[in-house]
Structure 1
Amino acid sequence: MNVLIVEDELMARKNLERLIGEQFSDLQIVGRVGTVRDAVAWLRTPANRADVVFMDAELSDGTCVDIFRQTEIAARVIMTTAYDNYAVRAFEVNCIDYLLKPVDPAALRRAVERCRQRSGGVDASRLLAALDMQREGGRERYIVRFNDRIVPVSVENIAYFYAEEKNTYLVTSDGNRYVMDLTLEMLSEELDTRRFFRISRSCIVALPAIASVVKHQGTRLRISARPRPDFDMVVSRSRVDDFLKWLEGGL
C-alpha cells in the first residue's frame, strides 16, 4: 500500500516513518508534506496515488478541515493528533482510525489492519458537517488514556476538571479520574458553557455535579460537588457574579 504522510512536525513525522518501516514491509511511503497547501497540491496531482493517508489534524497553515474542503480524498485516512479535538468526530464519519501522538506501535498496527479490511475514502461532506456541529454545540466526548486503554468519556458523564501540579484531571460522575493532555484554557474554549463553568484558574465544574453552594470567606462561594473532590472547590471572587447568573440560567 502507498502511504502519504501529512505532518508538519519533523520529529513526529520521523517517528511515524520509523514505526511504519519497522512494522510493515508492504507499506511504501510515497509522499511527505507538512502544510495544507502542499497536501492539497499533492492530492490534486494525477500522478500521485496513495492508498492510506496519515493526516495530522492541525498543521502550521490550517487544519485537516481545510484539506477536506479543497480536494477529494479517495484514500483511507488515519488521523494523527496530539489531542482528540478532531479525531473522534473524524472516526465517526468514516475515517479509518485515529492515533494519539506519540504514536503507539500497537495502535498503529490496529489502524493499518483496519485499512486492509476496509476500502473507500472519507465522506468529506459528512465530516465537515459533523465538525461544524461540534463547534456549534460544544464537545460531546473526550478520549483519555488509562493504562494501556483508550477510553471515551461522554461530557454528560463529566463532573468536573481541575488542574494540579501541572496536570489536568477529568473526574466523572461515578468517581473515576483521568489525566488529560488538554489544559483548562483549551477546555474552556470548547466546552458547552450552558453545562460547564470555570469557577477559578484551577477548576471547571459541570452544572449537574453541583449539590449545594455556601458562602465562603466573605464574598467567595464554596461548592459541594458530587463526587466529592479532594480539594476545596471555591468560586473565585471575580467570578462569583457570573457564576450565580450561570447557576440561575442567565448566562
Structure 2
Amino acid sequence: MRVIIIEDELRTAQQLKKMLESLDNEIIIEAVLHSVASAIEWLKGNEMPELIFSDIQLSDGLSFEIFKEVQTEASVIFCTAFDEYAIRAFESNSIDYLLKPIEEDMLQNSVEKYLRFKEHLLSSAQQVNNRNKVIQQMDTSYKQNLLVHYREKIIPIRVIDIQGVYVLNGAVHVYTSGAASYPVQYTIEQLEAMFNPQQFFRVNRKFILNRDFIVNIEHYFNRKLFITTKSELPEKVIVSKIKVQAFLKWVEQ
C-alpha cells in the first residue's frame, strides 16, 4: 500500500509514519510533505499514491486547497485537532476523519476501513468486467479465415491452423501448422482483436500463440516463462513477466 503523509508538525509526522509502518510491513510511506505547496508539487510530479493521510491546517493554508488544485483518485484520511472541518473533509475524497492525538486502534480502524472500501471497489469492477466479457464473447464474430497475398497468389488460411503470429523487423507473419510462414498486411494488434481470446494469447509484444500448439511451459530467467511449440518458430517464445499470471490462468481455462 503506497501512502503519503501531509503534516507540517515534524514530530507528529514521524509518529504517524512509525505507527503506519508498525501496522503492516507492506505499507510504504513514499513521502512526508509539510505544506500545501510541497504537496501540490509532489502530487503533480509523481505517481498517485493509494492513500493520503493529511492534516488540515498547514503552515501555508488548509489542505483542502491541495485537492482543489490536483485531481486525485487516492483515498484521503484527514488527521486534525479540530472537528469543525468534518463536512468539508468528506467533500474532498475523504474516507475517514481522525482527531489528534491519534491512537493506534483508531488508526488501524481507518486503514481497515480503507481496505474494505478498496476490496468492494475491486469486486464491483471485476463483476462488471466479467459481465462485459460474456457480452463481448456473445456478440463478437471472430475471424475464421485469412486471405494471404503471397507470390501473386491469394491463399486462404484457416485461423485455427495458425500456430502463431510473429513480428520481425516491423513485418507481421503468420505461421501455420505445416510450418509455413506468410506475411500479412495486418498489425499484430489488429490480429489480436480478430482472434478468439479463448484460443489465442499474446504472450509478448512479438508473439501471439494458439493454445493447441503449446507443447511445454518452463520457468525462465527473471520470473518469465519459456514455451515450446509443436513446430519451431523464428526465435524463443518467452512470456513477459507482467503477463505470466494472466497466461497461466488462460492456459487453465
- State the TM-score, normalizing by the size of structure 2: 0.45
Higher relative contact order (CA 8 A, sep 6+): 1
Structure that is richer in helix per residue: 2
Structure having the higher Rg: 2
